[in-house]
Structure 1
Amino acid sequence: MTEKNAFLEAFKRTKYQLVGHGPRNFQVLKEALSSYDEDYESDVYGNGKVIEDFQEKMATYLGKDAAVFFPSGTMAQQIALRIWCDRNGIHKVAYHPLSHLEIHEEDGLKELHRIEPILLADKNRLIELEDVLSLEEDISCLLIELPQREIGGQLPDFEVLESISTYCREKGIKLQLDGARLFEILPYYQKTAAEVCQLFDSVYVSFYKGIGGLAGAILAGDQDFIEESKIWKRRHGGDLISLYPYIITADYYFDKRIHKMATYYENAIELARLFNECKATSTLPSIPVSNMFHVHFEAPIENVKSILIDVYEETNIGITGNLRPIDENSCYCEISLGDQFSKVPKETISNVFQILNDKLSGIVK
C-alpha cells in the first residue's frame, strides 16, 4: 500500500469524520431512490417528467427563465462559454488563473472550442473590478467562480460583484457564474440564490459538492440560451439515454440539505478557530466565508501525515484523508463541512485538537 493510500485508509477507519457527508457508497443512491415508486418513468434523451420538473424547479430557485441538467459541470461551462463567444463573434474569455477550466480540464476550452482564455488577477488573490477595467483585449465573456476554491474558498464583497456586473453589461460582456458551490456561500452573503444569480447572464451549479448527490450540474439562463445549450449538450454526448440516477439524487439531497447550509458555514467557522489555535497551523481564509477552507501546516507532508494518523488512531476521529504538498517544508488540505460534523461528540473535538497541537509542537520549533 502506498503512503498516500495508507493515510486515506487510516482516515476511513475512524468512527467519526469532521468533514463531508459520509462515504460515497451505494447507500447514497439507495436512499434517494427509496422515495420513488418503482414504476416511476425515467427520462429519455433529455425529456420526461423527472428531468423537466427538476429543471423547472432549479430555474425558479436560481431566478432564471430556464435550466438544463448536464452530467458534468465541465461540459456545462465549456458550452456556456462557447455560446457566448459565438454570439459575440470574439473567441476570448477571461477568468481567474486557478479556474477549474485552466487547471483541471486538459485545455478542453482551447482544444474543443478554440477559445482563448485571458487570465485575470494574480493567482493568489480574487478578481477585482480594477482587473476587469484594465483588460486590454476584447472578450465575449467573463467567468467568476464563487467561492474561489483554489485559494481557500475566498469571496469578493457583494458590492464588488455588483460593480463588475454593471460594467460588463455596459460593455456587452457576458458574465458566467461558476457556482459549483453557490448554495454554500448564500449564508455569508445573506442573499438568495436568485439575488446572486441576477448579476450573471448564465449560471452553473453542482449537485455533488455541498449537496452530496452522485454527479451532475444545472446550467441556467434565458430561454434562448438554454435552448441553444441543449443542442450543444447533444453534440457533446451529454444526452445519455437516461440521467435519472443523477437527477433523483440531486433533487433528493437538495431538499435534504439546502436548509443546512447556514449550519455548515457556522461549523466551518468553529472548526477553523480550532485549527488556528494549533501550533504551525493556519487557515485560508482565517475566518471561512462558506463551509470550506484550506488548512496550512508549516511542516513537511510526511511528518504531518504521521501525526494525523496517530491522532486518528488515538481518538478515532478523522480530520482529512487528503494532504497536498506546498513545498518541502509545508503542506495543506481542503476542509469541507457537511452532515458528518454534527455526528461527532462535541466533548471529543477539543480533545482532538489538543492532541494535534501537542504533536505538532513536538516537531516544530
Structure 2
Amino acid sequence: MPVMDGPEREERARLQRAWNGAVRKLAAGPTAETIGARLARLAAEGADAYDLTGWSDMYGNEDGIVGELERRTAAALGTEAAAFFPTGTMAQQAALRCWADRTGDSTIAMHPLAHPVRWEGDALRRLTGLNVVHPTDAPRLPSADEVRDVAEPFGTLALELPLREAGFLLPSWDELTSTVAAARERDAVVHFDGARLWECTTHFGRTLAEIASLADTVYVSFYKSLGGLSGAALAGPEAIVKDAAAWRHRYGGQLFQQWPTALAAVVGLERELPRLPEYVAHAKLVAEALRGALAESDVPWWLVSPRVPHTHQFQVWLPYGVKELTEASARQAEETGTLLFRRWSEPTGAPPGLSMHEVTVAGDGLEWSAEDVRAAFADFLGFLRASGTWSAFGSGAGAD
C-alpha cells in the first residue's frame, strides 16, 4: 500500500469514522471496532467455541488450537487433512507448486480475473516458476468445452469459486461438474480457489463436502465470509497437504504463535458458517430492492450484477465518479446514521466514467427490509445530487 500524505490520512480516518459510526449497515466492516473491543469480543465468543484454559500454540503445534482448527476445517470440507496458512496467497502458491511437481507440468489453467493473476504481483511465475494459460477471458468461469480446447498441455486447472472480479459469479452445478470432468479428461488435477467457498452451498444446493469433493485440493479463507482476523487453509489428501506444509515453512509461514488468528477462525466456523445461507437469501432481497429503486429513479444508467446474487455479495455499477459516490456514502452515514455503501472503485478495464461497489450482506443487514433499502438508496441519491455531480450526467431511465 502506498504511503499516504497528511490529507490522505485525514480523509481515510474521516471515512473510517463515518462507516464505523453508522447505526445501521448491511455488514460490519473489518475495522469496525477498536482493538480493545475486538479483543474483548474474541475472548467472549472464543470461550463458547474453544477451551481457553489450554495453552497458546507454538509454531502451530498439532495438539493446540491451530491443530484443532485444521481438524475442524478438514471435517467441514470432508477432506483427509487441512493445513493452516497465514495467507491465502501463500496457501495457493504452495498448493500449485506441489501439484506442478507431482504432475510434472508447470502450466496452470486459470481465469485471467483470478486472484493469483490480478492481485499477487506475478508471484506464481516469479516465486514458483509456474506458467499460466487462460481457458477463457469471458467474465465467468470456463466451460467444459473451453477447458478441452486449451491449445497447450496443463497439469492443473484452478477454479475460483465464486469468481469475485466478475461479480461473485458461480456456474451451475452441472456446469461445474462438466468443467471438472473436462480437466480430468486431460489428465489434469483440479484446485479450487475457494476463498469464499463457504457461501456457495445455497447456489449449488450441495454441502461443502460435496463441493470440495470435486477438487483435488481446496483453499479457503477464514476472514472472508467468516469474520476472522486473517488466515487460510489448504485442504485435501494428507500427502499433498503435508507437502504444502513443508513449503509453508520455506515461504516463512511457520509463525511462532498464531492462536489469536486461529481462535477467531474457530469462532467463525462455529458462529458465522451456519448463518451464511441466511445472508445469501437476504442478499437476494437487497439486490431486488436496489434494482427496483434504481428502475424508479432518474439515474441514466445502472447495473446490479448478477441480477440475482449467487452469494451474499454482488456488484452495483453507477455512471458517476468514485470520489463523488464515496463522499455521498460517507455523508449519508455521518448525517443519517445509515451506511448503504462504503468506498467505490473504478475496476481495471471498466469503461471510463463508471464506478462499482461490492455490496456485502451479513448479520447486520438481516434487519433491513426491502423498504429500508429503497429509503436508504433514495437518501443516498439526495446526497449525490447535492454534490453537483448529477447535472453532469443528465437523467433518464436505467435498466440492468
Taking structure 1 as the reference length, the TM-score comes to 0.93
8 Å contact 1:32–1:253 — kept in the other structure? no
8 Å contact 1:175–1:202 — kept in the other structure? yes
8 Å contact 1:301–1:328 — kept in the other structure? no
8 Å contact 2:340–2:376 — kept in the other structure? no
Of 13, 19, 30 in structure 2, the residue corresponding to residue 11 of structure 1 is 19
Which amino acid counterpart does residue 59 of structure 2 have in structure 1?
Answer: Y
Is 1:351 paired with 2:375? yes
- Quick one: percent identity of the two aligned structures? 29
Shift of 1:324: 0.6
Q: Over residues 101-120 of structure 1, what are the superposed CA-to-partner deviations in whole Å (9 max), with x where a residue is unaligned?
A: 01111111111111011123
Is 1:293 paired with 2:300? no
Q: 1:357 to 1:222 in 2, by over 3 A?
A: same
Shift of 1:69: 0.7
Q: 1:320 to 1:9 in 2, by over 3 A?
A: farther
| Paired residue secondary structure (1:139) | coil
8 Å contact 2:341–2:357 — kept in the other structure? yes
8 Å contact 2:313–2:359 — kept in the other structure? yes
Partner residue in 2 for 1:157 = 172
- After superposition, residues 1-365 of structure 1 pair within 5 angstroms as 1-2=7-8, 5=12, 6-20=14-28, 23=32, 25-26=34-35, 27-34=37-44, 35=47, 39-47=53-61, 48-277=63-292, 278=294, 279=299, 280-325=301-346, 326-343=350-367, 348-357=372-381, 362-363=390-391, 364-365=394-395
8 Å contact 2:290–2:374 — kept in the other structure? no
Q: 1:359 to 1:44 in 2, by over 3 A?
A: closer
Which amino acid counterpart does residue 341 of structure 1 have in structure 2?
Answer: G
Q: 1:44 to 1:256 in 2, by over 3 A?
A: same
Shift of 1:158: 0.9
User: Gaps spanning 5+ residues in structure 2: where?
Assistant: 1-6, 396-400
The CA distance in 2 between the partners of 1:148 and 1:94, in whole Å, is 15
The CA distance in 1 between the partners of 2:82 and 2:197, in whole Å, is 15
Partner residue in 1 for 2:4 = none
8 Å contact 1:18–1:317 — kept in the other structure? no
Q: How many pairs were matched up?
A: 365
8 Å contact 1:275–1:282 — kept in the other structure? no
The CA distance in 2 between the partners of 1:8 and 1:330, in whole Å, is 24
Shift of 1:171: 2.5
Q: Over residues 151-182 of structure 1, what are the superposed CA-to-partner deviations in whole Å (9 max), with x where a residue is unaligned?
A: 11011111111112222223220100011001
Shift of 1:207: 0.6
CA RMSD of aligned residues (A): 2.2
Q: 1:106 to 1:93 in 2, by over 3 A?
A: same
Q: 1:4 to 1:128 in 2, by over 3 A?
A: farther
Which amino acid counterpart does residue 186 of structure 1 have in structure 2?
Answer: T
Which amino acid counterpart does residue 46 of structure 1 have in structure 2?
Answer: G
Greater Cα shift, 33-42 or 246-255: 33-42
Q: Over residues 205-261 of structure 1, what are the superposed CA-to-partner deviations in whole Å (9 max), with x where a residue is unaligned?
A: 001010000011110111111111111111111111121111111001210111111
Greater Cα shift, 309-318 or 137-146: 309-318
The CA distance in 2 between the partners of 1:21 and 1:11, in whole Å, is 8
8 Å contact 1:85–1:141 — kept in the other structure? yes
The CA distance in 2 between the partners of 1:67 and 1:245, in whole Å, is 19
Higher relative contact order (CA 8 A, sep 6+): 1
Taking structure 2 as the reference length, the TM-score comes to 0.85
Shift of 1:346: 7.5
| Paired residue secondary structure (2:272) | helix
8 Å contact 1:59–1:220 — kept in the other structure? yes
User: Gaps spanning 5+ residues in structure 1: where?
Assistant: none
Q: 1:12 to 1:32 in 2, by over 3 A?
A: closer
8 Å contact 2:317–2:356 — kept in the other structure? yes
Q: Over residues 285-315 of structure 1, what are the superposed CA-to-partner deviations in whole Å (9 max), with x where a residue is unaligned?
A: 1110100011101223333234334433443
8 Å contact 2:148–2:186 — kept in the other structure? no
| Paired residue secondary structure (2:108) | strand
| Paired residue secondary structure (1:214) | coil
Which amino acid counterpart does residue 97 of structure 2 have in structure 1?
Answer: R
The CA distance in 2 between the partners of 1:295 and 1:223, in whole Å, is 41
| Paired residue secondary structure (1:126) | coil
8 Å contact 2:195–2:224 — kept in the other structure? yes
The CA distance in 1 between the partners of 2:69 and 2:332, in whole Å, is 43
